[in-house]
């Protein structure tokens, strides 16, 4: 992976996940071997789990409701 791709991907991640620290973005990007799509998917799932936790929503109930609609 070239440095140019890394910088472009990091810029995209910063725009999409503005509340996440650069180090966290870099860590998740690295765990996903520089795969931008996998990184966005992982961060989106983590963001959703955080929202459920903040709102104190029962995750099992929320998934059940989503699956039935």
Distance (Å, whole) CA 37 – CA 59: 24
25 with 10: CB under 8 angstroms?
Answer: yes
Say what the pTM is.
Answer: 0.71
Q: What would the pLDDT profile of 10-65 be if each residue is shown by its tens digit?
A: 999 999 999 899 999 999 999 999 999 999 999 998 887 776 666 665 555 555 55
Distance (Å, whole) CA 54 – CA 6: 31
29 with 39: CB under 8 angstroms?
Answer: yes
């Amino acid at each position: 992976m070239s440095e140019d791709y890394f910088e472009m991907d990091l810029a995209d991640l910063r725009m999409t996940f503005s509340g996440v620290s650069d180090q966290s973005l870099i860590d998740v990007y690295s765990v996903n071997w520089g795969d931008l799509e996998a990184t966005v998917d992982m961060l989106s799932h983590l963001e959703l789990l955080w929202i459920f936790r903040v709102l104190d929503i029962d995750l099992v109930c929320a998934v059940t409701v989503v699956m039935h609609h």
